[in-house]
Amino acid sequence: MIKFFSVLCFVFIFGINAVTAQNFSTHQVKKGETIHGIAARYGVTISDIYAFNPDAKKELKANTVLIIPISKAKMTPVATTKELQGFKVHRTSKKETLYSIAKRYDITEDEIKKHNTFLYANTLQKGDKLQIPVFKITKEAPKATTKPYLVKAKEGKWRIAYKFGITVQELEDLNPGMGETLQEGQQIYVPNMDGDVVKEVDEKYSYYNVLPKEGFYRLKLKLGLDQETLETLNPELKSTGLKEGMVLKIPYSNKMTDSSETATEKTHLESRITNFDTKHIAVMLPFRLNRVDFDSISDIKGSIKKDPYLDASLDFYTGVLSALDSLKSLGISLKVDVYDTKYQVSEVLRIINENNFKDVDAVIGPLTSETFDKAASELRAYNVPVVSPIGTNLTLYDNVFQSRPSDDLLKDRIVNFVKADSLVKNIVIVSDTKNESVANSIKSEFNYAKLIYSRKNKQGKDENFLYVEDIRSTLKPGRNIVFLETQSEGFASNVTSILGSLTQRTEGNPNAIEIVLVTTNFNAAFEGDQVSNEHLSKLQFHFATASKSYSDTENNSFVKRYTQTYGITPSKRAVKGFDLTMDVVLRLATAEDLYLSANSAPLTEYVENKFAYKKKLLGGYYNDATYIVKYKDLEIVEVK
């Protein structure tokens, strides 16, 4: 009874407000909405909303009903005109009232009385013959609260969102289907704001996108900026408070922008553990156990051989298990959830919807790009960091950690390595047609370099070979760097054989020809049976890589334990599983969260992999740490 009375009172009060406050509307707040978006939607200012809803300054709760002062909106009211066209005749029945007749014909009671004047003195009776006016109604549509906007050169979503005081999500809501990347001249819609309210992006500053659950305290730890500084740079914070999705102006900082420099001093996290609270991580891998035949051991082995995703997942997972044992010995308490994604986007969505990820500290995986993208995009709402073990060129959402350096980064590192070599006398670029664009980009870095392409047949197709004279004529006495860009094993074999025959010992011979072979893309062509490792060692073959190979001669405790447990030495996938799990958990145990660890632990290194996370401007994190390695005495060693 009390509940019913309360609801009745609310309806009564709301009913009075609806009549007496005709210049106002109401808005029920939906989950995820911000005050910026609501103001933009109705064409009013944030202060207009706060003037009538002071509690919204403290917190904008879902399902809260806000009063919107429509009279202050930047839109003209709807103008309605009625033009009398004629009359209909209506005979009243026994139970009809003036109200029901007016409602039936969508007119007012006063309009009925005006054309049936006897009703001013008499009540409505059964059988009364009424003249019902028929109107032609014209409505003038209100001006939109948005306006068209043409994207300028180099403008991305965050720049436009910042200019108009909304979040990137709100900009996307205003423009469904606008695409991931904006094009110059593309028309989109933005809030209809006065010119003096629109903010300009100042290139002297950096800009930061506020993540879920981030308050002033967390931003101080992350950015080194206190509340007063942030409010000085962003005056609207004083009235709006800090909201998820805001784009904040901050002092220019390399921490928030791209960098090509990697930290040189390693951080040993094992000695810096301070947080012994239980860490909750999730591992997502495409085991596809639904496809495994469990009838016998031989059937299980057969399933593993047939399914490359199961094989890769099990390999990686053995490394994860080894890391969990090592972390346990360090006194770290862990809760680990393991999920089979089945290599399906729909399964990833089901896993996230049916399990509680709000308290998960980090997710490792999924392995494949589409499933990883779905997991990362869905978990953005909880600000859960998602770490990709093998993916490159991922969509770097705010919560994404790309642990594998990109191919472009590897290319830049080897090019910069060559540039730093003061002994280089001559540079030659050898390429096939498929890698012509790569060869040209290298040529743009070294204008004096000579280009050699694979010989072609009469049809103009690569024959994947060169003659000795094709290369000999381009070499000079002294140190020659030769870039070889190919994915053809035959071409790699042909070129390395020729180069191996042309290189000479340099001791005591100033006219000797020294050849150092490099590539910007180390691939299977260089590891094929046709390519001689002796030639590669003789040519000191250099390349940049995401991981180095551990040495069998090293007394490595992980390799020793893994070999004892599984009866084989660990593969590169198993080592990556170990290294990545160790790094993620140790970062959680030495910092407040994975995001802050990017600053507190700039460079870490384990068995074969190292991690130095840099943040993209208004995006996620990518691993900036790479190795330069070379062939030496039939082994691949790191170049210090």
Q: Which of 138-142, 185-189, 534-538 has the highest mean pLDDT?
A: 534-538
Q: What is the mean pLDDT of residues 182-189?
A: 86
With a CB cutoff of 8 Å and minimum separation 6, the contacts of 87 are 115, 131, 132, 133, 134
Distance, C-alpha 580 to centroid of its chain: 19
Name the one residue in this structure whose structure tokens are 């050699």: 452
DSSP, residue by residue, 387-414: EESS--S----TTEEE-SPPHHHHHHHH
Query: pLDDT value at position 264?
Result: 56
pLDDT top residue among 174 and 584: 584
Average pLDDT of the residues of the chain: 84
Q: Is the pLDDT of residue 560 over 80?
A: yes
- CA distances (Å), 531 to each of 105, 489, 543, in order? 89, 7, 16
Over range 532-538, report the average pLDDT. Answer: 94
The confidence score (pLDDT) of residue 468 equals: 94
Residue 359: Cβ-neighbour burial (10 angstroms; 0-12, 13-18, 19+): exposed
pLDDT band at 10 (very low <50, low <70, confident <90, very high): very low
Judge whether 210 and 244 are in contact, CB under 8 Å: yes
Dist. CA 260–CA 71, nearest whole Å: 53
CB neighbours of 435 closer than 8 A, spacing ≥ 6? Answer: 485, 486, 487, 521
- CB–CB of 486/463 below 8 Å? no
Is the confidence at residue 102, as pLDDT, over 50? yes
| pLDDT score for 257 | 40
Whole-model pTM? Answer: 0.63
Provide the pLDDT for residue 75.
46
Two tokens, residue 455:
């010989």
Peptide bond connecting 389 to the previous residue in cis, omega within 30 degrees of 0: no
Mean pLDDT confidence for 554-582 = 92
Between CA 36 and CA 18 the distance in angstroms is 25
Q: What percent of the chain has pLDDT over 90?
A: 44
What integer is the mean pLDDT of 8-32?
A: 48
Q: Which residue has the tokens 């004096």?
A: 448
Average pLDDT over residues 242-259: 66
pLDDT at position 450: 95
Token look-up 């990556």 returns 576
* Average pLDDT of the residues in 224-235: 86
* Single-letter amino acid, residue 52: F
Tokens of 202: 């100042």
What is the pairing mode between strands 362-364 and 386-388? parallel
For 594, residues 6+ apart whose C-beta sits below 8 A from its C-beta are: 361, 362, 385, 387, 401, 584, 587, 588
What structural domains does the chain harbor? 23-76 (3.10.350.10), 79-140 (3.10.350.10), 269-405+553-631 (3.40.50.2300), 408-545 (3.40.50)
Among 2, 146, 165, residue whose Cα is nearest residue 74: 146
Q: How confident is the model at residue 7 (pLDDT cuts 50, 70, 90)?
A: very low
- Per-residue model confidence as pLDDT tens digits over 426-466: 999 999 999 999 999 999 889 899 999 999 998 889 899 99
| Helix/strand/coil (H/E/C) assignment for every residue in 275-335 | CCCCEEEEEEECCCHHHCCCCCHHHHHHHHHHCHHHHHHHHHHHHHHHHHHHHHHCCCCEE
Residue 326: partners with Cβ closer than 8 Å, 6 or more residues away: 558, 578, 582
- Provide the pLDDT for residue 240: 74
The pLDDT tens digits for 478-520 are 899 999 999 999 999 999 999 999 998 777 777 889 999 999 9
Give the list of residues 6+ apart from residue 204 with CB closer than 8 angstroms, or none: 252
pLDDT digits (tens, 9 = 90+) for 303-349: 777 888 988 999 999 999 999 999 999 999 999 999 999 999 999 99
> What would the mean pLDDT of 551-570 be, rounded to a whole number?
86
For 32, the 3-state DSSP assignment is: coil
Q: Is the dihedral of CA 500, 501, 503, 509 positive or negative?
A: positive
